[in-house]
Structure 1
């Protein structure tokens, strides 16, 4: 199974930091860890998580800026930390660890000094006047112990208070979740029987030579696009007939969209994101090399868009198709005019990498970043038309509801929030997850959709292995779906809004009944799942895997 190795990830991070001018011992430790946010040993690294490694290294710029110690002392502090801790803990936690280990080191040193002191005392006792000398040393030691004890007590009290606050937060989360779930349907249990989708009923698309990070169905036909760490995207034609292993031998040719010429293992040009235009005639791909590329449906390269100075992690066409929006690690978002393929406007509001972008309508959109901020922007405006602050950590994803009335966001601070242009503070603050929330999706239901008689729902997928369904009219938890055993990276509603597909690092794809909150079908693959998507009819589901494959299966009830 092809995976992104620690060495390869280290090289990527090193190159990015080196080109950005960051050379520090802290980053060297970060490289050694070689894991991703919420990662599990042995699983591949999705593109959206690569930025986390970079950011956790950048945390050390903040850590360094908040200390008055000299370079030599800072290097000693870094040496007290383990590589894994550097990219899995925030600055405050790291500072606490440094303080704790400094105290432990001081205690060890004192123990050593105590041993030496004992030897000296014994020597003094063998000499004239040794008793008086020992008394003086005992008095000095007692003073030192009292001082150390006082400092230790103060630190201990601080730690106890912080631990108490953390425990209260966890208890509150559990209490609220129990209360909400207790008044309605109970959370799903993984043991609930679901229909197993047999491997013989699944078409496996092979050809990629590295993890497949993204997949998307054309909105107008039977074409399926996939983007991979092998620096290619592919366009597959999926026949209308039933899926299965027997279909694989009769699949039409696949179009391979090569993103560079040369060695096929050059990791700096991973395809990180892709999106079809509304007519299904053009496919846009974003790459780790900072370039966006436009392809025809038969795989012909139409345009290459140069302006970003860092990896692109989000790429979206507006509904009209006259503008393409991209968000990058270089902290900016760019609107491209699809008639001239020139930069219409570059938006430079964030102070850290841009992680996601989403159109509200044909000329306004939102962006989110690792700087914890969300901005709503409009073409032609030089400043944000709205700034939403409230998240306490990086904002991983944002999505407008089908009518553009509400904006949902999710973050590493364990919360999902819903915002309105009519107010500055969030309308709802959902705190029931117990780990980072990786992605969110609105249901295609409610007023202004093809399913106007169904209520509007929001799904959030988290590293706590659960998916939560929120009823947004009253802002309450409808279901907690607990069928996965590892972080959930992707969720997608069926076009009719009645079903939800989810994919996880536990290698399982689940299909849930939205109405009943239970698993209906399950497919067990052989790799972590990075994305799931439905075709426009809702009759087929695709999923992309860390074992270099894309799987397609039928859905019938």
Structure 2
């Protein structure tokens, strides 16, 4: 009887194996070989549950950086990585790859995280140490996901209505979140590093709170809302010191300058610049014709980005903000989110209402990377890991997804779903008279797609 059961189980597994796609067969063949060598327990469960959970650990690349930094600290060159997976151990962190934006493009799919109670995810933030990521959903809940293995960590109730925005202070000592609100009242809540509530500012705004942003010294923060106002709050006293009134349209985004007392805000077709010290508006211009969804300062304090429902992203310089530096046009629907890379100054990512993600370099108007089918719905937030090697995205399709850099040896042929890195020439190994080993010498050639240019790309 035992032999008959075993035969039936073997036939059942064979039938399952024949129905799998080519992508899964390689994985299943491993289990099949183990079964033939006597490990009968490997097919007691459905084969899809037998895989190991993937882990993206950034510590290995920092260890490699410590061993090579003394050699390359005086140059901008990166040690050459050959086109094979075995060279992954020689990977370098993004901080040493700023000479070539193409290396830091995160188009490789890693994991999809879905809450048990499925609901749209509107915002997210990595914890300052990068070990976890916090997401806020339509039910007012915080969901915590592991930052290495991307598994579920915990779930906690945060707001009575949908969580629409959140941000950490620069010191990492507190987080502030805003809600959608109801009955003419929307609240702002302070959270400590362990994400326990500290203070609740009730009736902070009368309608949905779109965004919050801290001042450079963390003593104040700004909030914007659909009630057409911007509030400047004293963080320690928990009082609203100043309230700017746009009086025309809802305020969709607000961002505090990284070093100065300047605020950017966006509404329908207009960007305004505010000075909280003078308590007045110091500038206004109209870069778009429709609603401007996001404004983002660059860490250099001079550039800022605007993205709108007119499918455009525009790069501005505060020294001549009436004249755009560059216009980026590729999105086919509303541009819902844009975010600068935390390490590389001239590199940013954008997401659209049709679920597509594009990667951009400020020197070129066309994207250098894309993920055509990142999500099935509008992308609400994109957040880089503090190290810069991972990108997290959340969308209206109720999922949170993680994307990493490509590994050495990855080619375009295996990236049909994951997206493509475009417009970059092969990374050519060259030699220096003073160095015995080759270094990367990337050469940019616009509008050229070459599978071999993935040399040196990696996944950490």
Q: State the TM-score, normalized to the length of structure 1.
A: 0.48
Residue number in structure 1 paired with 2:164: 272
Check conservation: 2:327, 2:365, Cα contact below 8 A: no
CA 1:196–1:470 in structure 2 vs 1: closer, same or farther (change >3 Å)?
closer
Where does residue 332 of structure 1 map in the other structure? 229
Higher fraction of helix:
1
Query: What SS is found at the alignment partner of 1:422?
Result: helix
Match for residue 427 of structure 1? 325
- Partner secondary structure for residue 476 of structure 1: coil
| 1:429–1:254 CA distance, 2 compared to 1 (3 A) | closer
Contact 2:126 2:383 in 1 (8 A): no
Alignment-derived partner of residue 136 in structure 1: none
Match of 1:226 among 135, 159, 163: 135
* Closer/same/farther in 2, CA of residues 220 and 492 from structure 1, 3 Å limit: closer
Residues 1:222 and 1:385: Cα distance change in structure 2 (over 3 Å): same
CA deviation string 1:95-139 (max 9, x = no partner): xxxxxxxxxxxxxxxxxxxxxxxxxxxxxxxxxxxxxxxxxxxxx
1:150-209 per-position Cα deviation (integer Å, ceiling 9, x unaligned): xxxxxxxxxxxxxxxxxxxxxxxxxxxxxxxxxxx9xx9xxx9x6765x8xx7x664x57
The structure with the greater share of residues assigned to strand is 2
Query: Which runs of structure 1 show a deviation greater than 6 angstroms over 4 or more consecutive aligned residues?
Result: 514-523
In the TM superposition, residue 496 of structure 1 has moved relative to its aligned partner by 4.1
Counterpart for residue 157 of structure 2: 256
Residue 439 of structure 1 aligns with which residue?
337
User: How far apart, in 1, do the equivalents of 2:120 and 2:377 lie?
Assistant: 17
Distance change (3 Å), C-alpha of 1:298 and 1:501: closer
Report the equivalent of 1:389: 286
Report the equivalent of 1:479: 368
Q: How much has 1:345 moved relative to structure 2?
A: 0.9
For the residues of structure 2 that align with 1:508 and 1:288, how far apart are their CA atoms?
Answer: 20
Q: CA deviation at 1:378?
A: 1.4
Task: Supply the distance in 2 between the matched residues of 1:210 and 1:437 (Cα, whole angstroms).
Answer: 22
Q: CA deviation at 1:497?
A: 3.8
Is 1:286 the counterpart of 2:286? The answer is no
Deviates more, 1:330-339 or 1:304-313: 304-313
1:520/1:299 CA distance change after superposition, 3 Å: farther
How far apart are residue 394 of structure 1 and its match?
A: 0.5
- What residue number does 2:43 align with? none
Q: Deviations over 1:274-302 (max 9, x none)?
A: 22223333221211222212233352342
Query: What SS is found at the alignment partner of 2:319?
Result: coil
Aligned partner (choices 332, 340, 351) of residue 461 of structure 1: 351
1:288–1:311 CA contact under 8 A, matched in 2:
yes
- Of 480, 495, 512, 2:386 maps to 495
Deviation, structure 1 residue 335: 0.9
Give the RMSD, CA atoms, in angstroms: 3.7
Change in CA separation of 1:394 and 1:367 when aligned onto 2, cut-off 3 Å? same
Q: Aligned pair in 2 of structure 1 residues 509, 389: CA closer, same or farther (>3 Å)?
A: same
Secondary structure of the corresponding residue to residue 429 of structure 1: strand
Q: 1:229 to 1:476 in 2, by over 3 A?
A: closer
Question: What secondary structure is seen at the aligned counterpart in 2 of 1:306?
Answer: strand
Question: What are the residue-to-residue correspondences of 1:177-256 with 2, within 5 Å?
Answer: 197=111, 206=116, 210-220=119-129, 222=131, 224-230=133-139, 232-234=140-142, 236=144, 238=146, 242=149, 244=151, 255-256=156-157
Bigger relative contact order, structure 1 or 2 (CA pairs below 8 A, ≥6 apart): 2
CA-CA distance at 1:384 after TM superposition: 1.8
Q: 2:361 touches 2:368 (CA, 8 Å); kept in 1?
A: no
Distance 1:233 1:394, change over 3 A: same
| Whole-angstrom distance in 2 between the partners of 1:517 and 1:406 | 34
Cα shift readout 1:40-66 (whole Å, capped 9, x = no counterpart): xxxxxxxxxxxxxxxxxxxxxxxxxxx
Quick one: distance in 2 between partners of 1:287 and 1:465?
A: 24
Structure 2 equivalent of residue 407 of structure 1: 304
CA contact (8 A) 1:293 1:301 kept: yes
How many positions carry a matched residue from both structures?
A: 305
Distance change >3 Å, CA 510–CA 377, structure 1 → 2 = same
Residue 398 of structure 1 contacts residue 407 of structure 1 at CA under 8 Å; is this kept in 2? yes
Distance 1:221 1:493, change over 3 A: closer
**Pick aligned residue for 1:372 from 269, 273, 292:** 269
Task: Flag the 1:324–1:476 CA change in 2: closer, same or farther, 3 A.
Answer: same
Cα offset, 1:436, TM superposition? 1.4
Contact kept, 8 Å, 2:189 with 2:197, in 1: the verdict is no
User: Does the CA contact (< 8 Å) of 1:460 and 1:468 recur in 2?
Assistant: yes
